[in-house]
Structure formats: structure tokens, C-alpha cells
Amino acid sequence: MTVEIRSAPHIKDDNGVVKIMRNVVWSLLPICGFYVWQYGLSALASLVVVTASCLAAEEFFLRLGRQSGDLGDWSATITGLLLALTLPAGFPLWMGAVAGFVAIGLGKAIFGGIGHNLFNPALVGRGFVQAAFPTAIATYTPSFLPARFSEFIPSSLALPFMTPADTATWVAGLNIDGVSGATPLARWKFEGVIASNWDLLTSISGHLAVGPSPLLILLCGAYLALRGYLDWRIPAAVLGSAALLAAALYPLNPEHYPEPGFVLFSGGLMLGAVYMATDMVTSPVTPLGMWLYGVLIGALTVVIRYSGGLPEGVMYAILIGNAATPMIERITQPKAFGTAPTKETRA
């Protein structure tokens, strides 16, 4: 009889990287479909171009031998879809391609590929284009415009290094009453106007300049959580801490601080909490660490929104949370039973 001696784990299932990533892509398809329904051809082109750019960059760095993984692991596809969902629908396509290449190059390949990156690659790409193209990244258009499936948002087709078409003039020329290219967060921050929670939660009322429905994102995230591909603690901590801090501040000055529902359903908090903060590579693995990490992100989001110069703070909060992950894991790592920490383990 042959005896094989192997290290743990001895009981395994088939939930490998490829299967998990493939399920994440499947869960994103309804969200992407909703985004296309909102913004039409420009949204579809953005999803295709940004994802194709991520895949091309992945293949490029794989051929250079600078990173591990392969195109079949679906990780670059997830990065492309998430990155496109964080960009305005009318964001120039060539800028979206740049964002995709940077997301893979600076967000993943430079660290050695899948499983080695310190920061969420999609947010690295978005952070780069926010610094490089600040005007374009802050230019939004209303959703559900009548001609969205027959024409592009003019700024989408801007040539490289050329000034995009004036979206505000184009929207004004549509002669639609009550539309605005400002996001609900921007209108709250700079105009004091607060959209209703129901409009924000569903994203189907009027012509709001918003992303996919937070309610749909929650449902798709629930699918991943039920399948065991997403740990519910992180989004619960992110959303719970943001809601609690908003609830504590709201009574102090209701005219300045919005109610918790607005904080939860506006901007990219729901997408960030469910799909970006939960990245298995860049988030803690210990249960307590997940709670601390999520609370940090939720609280930072509220602080940046309330006190920062920009109306949105989710991207920065998650990137800071990614940077804090090694420290969080260090202080929350459980100690072996019956042992005491030594000077070496404390150092």
C-alpha cells in the first residue's frame, strides 16, 4: 500500500479562482445591462472598450513575463467591467482605454499579477484618470435620454488629446424639462438639493445622472454571498458604519448633513461596498479584520463626502482601506491556543 503524506488542507472543493471569478462576472451582467439601459450606446461602448483594454493589457504583461495568471481566470474582465461602471457614460472612449491599461499595469502587473496586488486595480485605473482628466471624469449626463440607443453622447467619441464636445450644450439642445448633468451628490454638495431615497435606490425615476440601481447591486451581491463567493461582513460593515455616522450627524445640522438613506444610495457607495471593498486579494481575511476594514471604509467615505472638496469619497476610502489591510490583519491575527506572543512576533 502506498501512503502519501501531504500538507493541509486535506478536504477541498471545486471553488477555485476561475469558478469564483466567473460567478462574479455573471453577477455583474445584470448590472451592466441596467447601465446600458440607462445610457444606451455610449455605456455599451464604454463597457466594451474598457474591458477590451484591460484584457489587452493583461495579455501584454503576461507575454512580458511580468505577472502571473492568464486571460482565462476572468480577473481582467472583472476589472474592466467594474472600472467602466465607475466612469461617466459619456467619458471619452480613448480615456477609458487608458484607464483600463493603467488599471492592469499599475494596479496588478507591477505587483506580480493576480493575488499579489495591494490595491483594487479598477480603482487604481479610475484614480489615474481622475488625476489626468479631471474635467472629463466630472462630466455626467442624465440617464434615460430618448435618443440613447440611436446616438452616442458626443463626448464619448472625442479623438485622443482633443477637447471633448460640450455635453452641457448637447443636453440643453435636447429640450427636455427638468434634466441636469450633475450627479445627486454634486447637487447636494454644491446646490443643497437632495434627491429622494426611492429615486436613488431604484435609479429609474426621471433623468438622474446616476449609476446602476443600488437595489440591483444588492441583489447581485446577495447571489455571491449565498454562493459563498463574497463575505457579507465587509459590505455590512461599510454600509452599517456609513449609515450610523450619517445618522449621528444628521440631527446636528439637517440642512448640511443628509439623512442616512441618501448617504447609502447615492454615488458609488453600494457598488464599492459590494464589489470593490470585498476583493479577496486586497481585503483582510480575519473576521475581526473584515469588520474593522469595513468600518474604516464606511467612516472615511462619510468624512470625505462631508468635509472634502469633492462630493464623492468611496474610491479614496477603499484605497486607504487596501493600504491598511496588512496592518489590520497583523493586529487581528488570532494566536495559537496555548502560546504567548514573543518579542519576535510582536516586532
Cα–Cα separations (whole angstroms), residue 240 to 145, 274, 337: 34, 13, 32
Residue 2 has pLDDT above 70, yes or no: no
pLDDT, mean over the chain:
89
- Residue bearing the bigger pLDDT, 6 or 324: 324
146 prior amide bond cis, ω within 30: no
Q: Give the tens place of pLDDT for each residue, 92-125.
A: 999 999 999 999 999 999 998 888 899 999 999 9
* Domain ranges (residues) in the chain: 16-139+143-179, 184-203+230-329
Tell me which amino acid residue 14 is.
D
Q: Give the tens place of pLDDT for each residue, 207-240.
A: 888 999 999 999 999 999 999 999 999 999 999 9
User: Which of 27-36, 107-116, 161-170, 329-338 holds the top average pLDDT?
Assistant: 27-36
Tell me which amino acid residue 46 is.
S
Please report which helix (H) or strand (E) contains residue 256, including its range.
none
From 224-238, 287-301, 324-338, the region with the lowest mean pLDDT:
324-338
- The pair phi, psi for residue 34, each rounded to 5°, is -65, -40
